[in-house]
Structure 1
Amino acid sequence: MEKDLPEPQAALPPLQPEPEKSKRQIGQWVLLVIAVLALSAAVVFVVLRFITPTTPEANNVERNPSPGLDGIIAASIPPEQLILGDCLRGFESPLATQTVVTCNSAHNAQLIGTFELTGEDYPGSNELLTESETLCKSVALDPSAGLDSTWTYHFSRPSESTWTQGDRQVSCFLSLSEGNVRNSLLPENEES
């Protein structure tokens, strides 16, 4: 009976689990591809920014020559594109973008005047504040507009840094503290 037994064999080494190196390499390759794509997009953005710089003309907001029932002539118009007599809906600050509407539609402010100051040297913040206020209050308003104490003067004026860049403009606004009106504050011959 001993003859039927198999001959002893050398033991085989234990089976090793398959290394996870391939999964880790795939993850690293995916991250590398994502990083290269992000870097490429950033380079394209920078190159296009320098090739086609934005110009002030590109930022001009178009005015609607025939506004509809809402009266909106232009929305989100920058302050430097406002025109004397523009009536403004939702006015909060002279430096914010504005919604220009027809003066016979509901609005709470109006650009009543613009002035160009003279001089080479910056006059100082307090002097400029006083001069701007005097200029704005000198604008002739329509006596039939119904102005009272609920109206407030607002104005934008050059800062010391913009003065050195050539800014000399004072823009004057008159706004309601609450509510809206549906008429211009300027006499008819003053509006453009």
Structure 2
Amino acid sequence: MAEENLPEPKAALPALQPGPPEQERPNRRIGQWFLLVVAVVALSAALVYVILQFLTPAEDPGAREVPRNERPGLDGVIATEMPPEQLIVGDCLRGFTGPLDLQTVVTCDSSHNAQLIGTFTLEHDSFPGADALLTESEDLCKSVAIDPSAGLDSTWTYHFSRPSQSTWSEGDRLVSCFLSLDSGTVRSSLLPEAEQS
């Protein structure tokens, strides 16, 4: 007996498509190897950079010696970005905002708003404590003789840097004393002429 209404048999798998020509396969492999080599080189460079960052000590901004212009121009600028530890007593400062900041040193007859009026080296055998050090630093700074003709009044404020407990353990014993204007500028030194460097 013949079966009449049976569907025609279908192939179980789709027909195979022809692959890329043989000459394209080597080109694809070369491209893949090239990308792999580039990735390995980039990863190696990044690894070397990270290792060098750990092995190379960070540059201390105060470690570089900032030169002083011995013949400043009309603007009076002697040095810019001067680390506080390189300041000299009598230095007049333009744009002063705090004793630990990098400073612009100018001639005292040019416009400025602060001056380094004195430095003191502390003689204690051990760290005296933050409060005691604050009081001592303030007393030392207020003991500096100011030129009576400088016109020091309430518009001036004392600022000072002093050792912290951590810098004390590293040998820091320096108190640096500054006077700054609350606003405005002056064109003269606060120190008697004999006191200036």
TM bucket, shorter chain: 0.7 to 0.9
Identify the residue that residue 4 of structure 1 maps to in structure 2: none
1:59 matched residue in structure 2: 64
Partners of 2:102 and 2:62 in 1: CA distance: 16
Match of 1:7 in 2: none
Please point out which of 11, 35, 45 is paired with 2:43: 35
Per-residue deviation, 1:143: 1.0
AA of the residue aligned to 2:158: Y
Structure 2 residue 136 is matched with structure 1 residue 131: yes
Specify the code of the residue in structure 1 equivalent to 2:17: P
- Which of these residues, 82, 85, 101, is aligned with residue 80 of structure 1? 85
Does structure 1 residue 14 correspond to structure 2 residue 22?
Answer: no
**Range with bigger deviation, 31-40 or 112-121:** 31-40
Pair 99,56 (structure 1): closer, same or farther in 2 beyond 3 Å:
closer
How far is 1:166 from its partner?
A: 1.6
Q: For residue 109 of structure 1, what is the aligned residue in structure 2? A: 114
Work out whether residues 75 and 110 of structure 2, in 8 Å CA contact, stay in contact via their aligned partners in 1. Answer: yes
Change (3 A) 1:62 1:131: same
TM norm structure 2: 0.80
1:191 deviates by 0.4
The alignment's TM-score, normalised by the length of structure 1, stands at 0.82
Secondary structure at the residue paired with 1:37? helix
Offset, 1:24 = 3.7
Q: Which amino acid aligns with 1:64?
A: N
* Alpha-carbon distance in structure 1 between the residues aligned to 2:68 and 2:114: 18
Is residue 84–residue 100 contact of structure 2 (8 Å, CA) maintained in 1? Answer: yes
SS of match in other structure, 1:126: helix
> May I ask how many residue pairs the two structures share in their alignment?
178
Show the counterpart of 1:176: 181
Match of 1:26 in 2: 34
Structure 1: unaligned runs, 5 residues or longer: 1-11
Amino acid at match of 1:14: Q
CA distance in structure 2 between the partners assigned to 1:168 and 1:45 by the alignment:
31
- Residue type of the partner of 1:30? V
Percent identity, aligned pairs only?
59
* 8 Å contact from structure 2 (residues 62, 83) kept in 1: no
Compared CA separation, residues 41 and 130, structure 1 to 2 (3 A): closer
Aligned Cα RMSD in Å? 2.6
Cα deviation for residue 164 of structure 1 reads 1.6
